[in-house]
Chains A and B, each alone.
Chain A
Amino acid sequence: MYLEKSTIESILETIDTLQVKQNEVVLILLSELDLPDMDLLIQQLNDKKVAFFGGVFPGLIIGNQMFSTGCILKKFKAIVMPFCLSGIGQVQVSDFPDYKTPEEFRNGTALVLLDGLAPNIYAFLGKLNELLGGECGFIGGGAGFMSLQPQKCVFCEEGFKQNAAVVCIIEKKVNLGIRHGWEHFAGPMVATQVEDNTIKQLNWRNAIDVYNEIVSVDCGTTLNQDNFGKIAQGYPFGILRENEDDIVRDPIALNGDGSIECIGEVPPNTVLHVLKGRPAALLEATKQAMRDCGSSESQPINASETLIVDCITRALFLENQFIEEMNIIRNSLQISSPDQEPYGVLSLGEISSYGDGMLELFNKTIVVGTFN
């Protein structure tokens, strides 16, 4: 349920109408504009003794619309109630609550919301995978703000947190479609020196020098710290995988030493390509994502719910065509009630796994999860 205004009152009233039971949890997705007093909201939600978790995102999706205000409230039956893990980079398996065995999560889906600008997300996802195994589906995204300034962005009954993750396993099985549609523009090249999210060298040279040689020719402008964010969003990096789409890494800033900051980690010595997007290719990828979820020309998906985690930079890149991407999704679904309208967030990084493979943080990717 989408609320145009994220007031505490409206949120609480709506939750009242949801009649949340003891084994149920409320997912609260907030848009970064007109945020309520989060501490007060959490306190009052705790007073209501309602299980909840959520995050703040640059934008929200309802149907084929994108919203920069308001909030979405969704009620789920929980297998594991939300838990919070602070200090993402330092989390160990022993820090996780000792829940049930992975086999019991087989019919569930882990909803993962984390600080999209936190370091060491890859390691955290590895630990999460170790805890929950490959038994359940994963879908989630990086919370945060358009300013790309690290700040509190995820919450649960423990409070409003930065550099943290909230996880809840709901009793719904998900079908996933993960695609981006970005194409190789230049490469391959080797990330010969990286440090977490920062590419310092490409092919044993200063990263920006190599990147500039590729991008400036195409866009006609030499990149610097001022124009880097705007230009680089059209030229992301792709981490090569055989027989699968590259994993996209969004370059978001140029550091003074010529190193390039990305959303999500880049493995050292990995093979990268500079990617370039074409709206048509991106939209085609969205169609493929929906096919991955089970749709076909003749048979739209009859899902009780559809959750979309779409990258904010992908949305920005598509500009006006973003609505077409949403329509592709919507048109792939059988929607017979408002509850079946797809909803989601515009994220700083998308979280999912390919089937029962590795849990990954993607960039510039659309992740669609349809729940039966």
Chain B
Amino acid sequence: MPFRIKIIQDISLLYELSLSVGSSLDPRVNCQNFLNTITRRKSLNFSSIWLNKIPEKEVDGYELFEVCPNFRKSNICLSNHHFILKQLEKNPYFNISHHDPNFKELVQEKKVTSGSYAIFKLGNIGFLKLFANNRENGFSDIEMAQLKQVVDKLNISLDGCFAHIQLKEETQQRLEAQQAIKESEEKYRGALENMELGLLEVNPDGHIIRANNAICQMLGYQADELVGKQERSLYRIPEDSENVLTNWTYANTPGRHHSYELQFNHKNGAPVWVLMSRAPVINPHGQNTGSFGIYFDITARKTLEQELSDAKMVAERARLAERQFITHMSHEIRTPINAVIGMTHLLSTTKLDETQKDYLNSLDFSAKSLLGIIDNILDLSKIDAGVIEFEQQPFDLDYFQKNLVRSFKFKSEEKNLLLYGESDPDIDHIVVGDPIRLNQILTNLLANALKFTENGEVSLHVKLLSKSAGKYLIQFRVHDTGIGIPEDKLDTIFEYFKQADPQISRKFGGTGLGLTIVKQLVEMQGGTIHIESEEGKGSDFIFELSFGDSGIPVESRHEHAGLEYQTADNRIAGSHVMIVEDNLLNQKLLCKTLEGWDCTYAVAHNSAEAINLSKQQQFDIILMDIHMPDQDGFETTGIIRNDTQNINKTTPIIALTAAAMADEKRKALEAGMNSFLTKPISPNSLLDHLCQYIKPSENAKKAPQFCKPLDFTSNEPDLSYLKKISNGDPEFILGILNDFKKEADQAVAELERYAQEGDLEKTFALLHKLQPNFAMLGLNTLCENSKTLQKILMQDDNSLEILQVCINKMAINLQRASRLVSDKIDLCQ
């Protein structure tokens, strides 16, 4: 072949090969074009390209990427340490004929036994492999050098392809991301435009830069009218602007948002209430670029709220008026009834013939019935008004039960009925609850039971259902063998003014309010009540209530049963009492009652007199009427309490009023009064208060109910023991009594001192020493109280304050016992 032709052919080969690459950005097409061309031009049996990176595929080592002529290939791979790659580390190209012992290392694509391979490195990405069986001496050096030039071009082209693919993928990802953002923006834009919530976007200066349809409709503007406006200029109340700005400055950090209720001005001037929630827009550099506000039109809700508020105010006024009416009614009705009952009581102490006594009994019965009805109506009013309050005070349930049952003894004996009560010994602690309301409930039920029972028995059963976590769940059962209740009436028996049969009202009387009150009182304390009854056989009214556990054990229960309220005799005798009362009948009633208890008194007819008297005389207690014509009892009390020079500044003051409302009681305590008595005043209640507040320490009123056994329980000395052991020797007895009197007076002083010092050990020792003396003189109650106090002193869980009160009371009792002994000494002498 002429040299010129050879050169042209060589150049044309390089030309053709050069043009076969780079015509496509697809590496596979690029490789196919190159392999097709070189295989055809060089008359090769086959050629192949192996790569260590293939688009969209993980390659471990080098994988056959393209081969020509093509054949079905799958995952033909070479490791990174293959012979070919090791060779290529030394030389960028080499050729091997079948004479070379390494020839077989190159046989991969097809099983060949003779021919020559030429291998060219493709940069860092792979290699090119050529095979021809028509070259006896393999590929020539010139041929290899020529091809190397073109293979380098192929390498560059493939690098470009891969770079393009990477760029394309990145571009695609970016486009997809942009598309996703665009779609997201479209979605939210659509949602924001179509939602019912208004939206305003403002720049950092507060100028509106975007407004959606909903806010435009809400405020009556077009979007272009709102854009550019100061958002704050739309506020109806200028001060809102300051509040929003203050909060906004605080909340103007990423992740913070704030919401407000404020008023906007509609374009037509009408107010538009909105609930606004606002969040800052923070750019990627952390800069505040404005904020988004979402606005919910709450005008309708606000209007409704205002209407409700107005209605509530009207209702409150009506309720207040109702309560005032009840208060006044209570006062106006109770005051004359109080006088009627009181005068009846006084009249009964005068000399009367039998007819007069009958009339007086009827009068007393009618007055008390009327008072009962009024009390019921007032209770119901209080329940309905939700103003009823329940006390939480400790009391001995067994003692309570026995007293209650005893109070019905007379009535049961009148009807020749068996009446008894049963307590549960498992209730071994003083319970905490409202004994007054419990009394009201059980009195109602027992009174009913006695009313509707002609034969048989009436009983009260107190049973512990469970005890846990400082709580007693107690069942009360009032049982009778009376007329019973028809089954179809059981559901309605607790309704207002309902009795099982209209004839019952005619036959037995009653308003039909009692059971309603009972049920309300039980349920308001979280209890339940039901009836088990059989017509003609009797009824069981059963209710359950929860009480607190004071943790204080009940002692000497059987002894307490005998401690009925008795006359005050020497316990308050000699006390000086101020009566502040404008009602003359009530004055007389109080005066006569106090006289009966050997108390002295002074009467003030109005507030001014009361204040004057309080400055002149030292009183042990003041009984203060609330409703007086000039200054009421609250104000009068305030003046006495606030006058530092007043000698009665700290004297106990007990409010007296016909108003039975709870807020009256609260007001009395707030005014500085110590307690509260509701007219008509029962002598027992009055006595109870006088005993409690006359001469006690400041802590007396805080003393728990369990100390009651230590109060007012002094019994007359019983000298039978002394007479027995001395065979009635008066000198011996007198000597013992004088010794006791001396010892008791000394002990009183010591107890007062120990109480002040909080010396419990010496108190215990002293009581222990005195105890045999109490027994010797038949001062049994004092003896038991001493034992109880000793036990209390040994317990760890009583506060010193309470113990000091108990010791003081013990001292008072001992002092009274001393006076009683002194009386005996006088008799003996």
Contacts and interface: CB of A to CB of B under 8 A. Distances in A.
A270 B8 CA distance: 12
A242 B20 contact: no
A358 B68 contact: yes
Interface stretch (A65-73, A108-116, A127-135): A127-135
B82 interface: no
Interface stretch (A159-167, A283-291, A349-357): A349-357
23 contacts: A93-B72, A102-B71, A126-B36, A126-B69, A129-B71, A130-B69, A130-B72, A134-B110, A188-B9, A188-B12, A190-B15, A240-B12, A243-B134, A244-B134, A267-B16, A267-B36, A267-B37, A271-B41, A356-B112, A357-B39, A357-B46, A358-B39, A358-B69
A269 interface: yes
Interface in A203-244: 239-244
Contact of B71 (A133, A267, A357): A133
A353 B46 CA distance: 12
Contacts of A244: 43, 134
Nearest to B19: A269
Nearest to B39: A358
B791 interface: no
Contacts of B68: 358
Contacts of A42: none
A102 B20 CA distance: 29
Among all A-B residue pairs, the 8 with the closest Cβ atoms: A130-B70, A133-B71, A271-B12, A244-B43, A269-B19, A129-B69, A241-B43, A358-B69
A243 B43 CA distance: 7
Nearest to A359: B69
Nearest to A244: B43
A268 interface: yes
Nearest to B8: A188
Interface residues of A, number: 31
B13 A267 contact: no
B707 to A, nearest CB: 104
Contacts of A134: 45-46, 69, 71, 110
Interface in B14-45: 15-16, 19-20, 36-37, 39-45
B135 interface: yes
Nearest to B70: A130
A269 B15 contact: yes
Contacts of B5: 188
A255 B697 CA distance: 135
B133 interface: yes
Nearest to A127: B70
A131 B73 CA distance: 10
A284 B543 CA distance: 131
Given A129-B69, A129-B70, A240-B12, 16 more contacts: A126-B36, A133-B71, A133-B72, A134-B46, A134-B110, A190-B16, A241-B41, A241-B43, A243-B43, A243-B134, A269-B15, A271-B12, A353-B69, A356-B45, A357-B45, A359-B69
Interface of B: 5, 8-9, 12-13, 15-16, 19-20, 36-37, 39-46, 68-72, 110, 112, 133-135
A6 B44 CA distance: 43
Contacts of A243: 43, 134-135
Nearest to A241: B43
A24 to B, nearest CB: 27
B134 to A, nearest CB: 5
A271 B5 CA distance: 12
Given A269-B20, A271-B13, A357 B69 contact: yes
Nearest to B73: A130
A275 to B, nearest CB: 15
A324 B9 CA distance: 34
Nearest to B18: A269
B40 A239 contact: yes
Contacts of A247: 40
Contacts of A131: 72
A126 B70 contact: yes
A190 B71 contact: no
B133 A358 contact: no
Contacts of B45: 134, 354-357
Contacts of B20: 269
A239 B70 CA distance: 21
B72 A358 contact: no
A127 B71 CA distance: 8
Contacts of A356: 45-46, 110, 112
Given A134-B46, A243-B135, A355-B133, A268 B69 contact: no
Contacts of B69: 126, 129-130, 134, 353, 357-359
A130 B40 contact: no
A176 to B, nearest CB: 14
Interface core residue of B15, B72, B135 (most chain A CB under 10 Å):
B72
Contacts of B36: 126, 267, 358
Contacts of B70: 126-127, 129-130
A133 B68 CA distance: 10
A93 B68 CA distance: 15
Contacts of B12: 188, 190, 240, 271
Nearest to B5: A188
A357 B134 CA distance: 11
A85 to B, nearest CB: 16
Contacts of A353: 69
Interface in A238-279: 239-244, 247, 267-271
Contacts of A358: 36, 39-40, 68-69
Interface in A338-372: 353-359
Contacts of B9: 188, 240, 242, 271
A241 B12 CA distance: 11
A365 to B, nearest CB: 15
A268 B68 CA distance: 17
B146 to A, nearest CB: 11
B71 A130 contact: yes
B136 to A, nearest CB: 10
A315 to B, nearest CB: 26
B44 A270 contact: no
Contact of A268 (B8, B19, B40, B134): B19
B16 A269 contact: yes
Nearest to A268: B19
A93 B70 CA distance: 11
Contacts of A267: 16, 36-37, 40
B43 A354 contact: yes
B110 to A, nearest CB: 6
A240 B71 contact: no
Contact of A242 (B19, B42, B72): B42
Nearest to A133: B71
A245 B9 CA distance: 14
A323 to B, nearest CB: 32
A227 B41 CA distance: 32
Contacts of B37: 267, 270
A99 B41 CA distance: 32
B8 A242 contact: no
Contacts of A239: 40
Interface in A153-196: 188, 190
Contacts of B44: 357
Contacts of B41: 240-242, 270-271
Contacts of B135: 243
* Most chain A CB atoms below 10 A, which of B9, B15, B70: B70
Contacts of A102: 71-72
Nearest to A269: B19
A101 B626 CA distance: 117
B494 to A, nearest CB: 89
Contact of A270 (B16, B42, B112): B16
B135 to A, nearest CB: 7
Interface string A122-149: 0000110111111000000000000000
Contacts of A355: 45, 133
B143 to A, nearest CB: 9
A80 to B, nearest CB: 15
A242 B15 contact: no
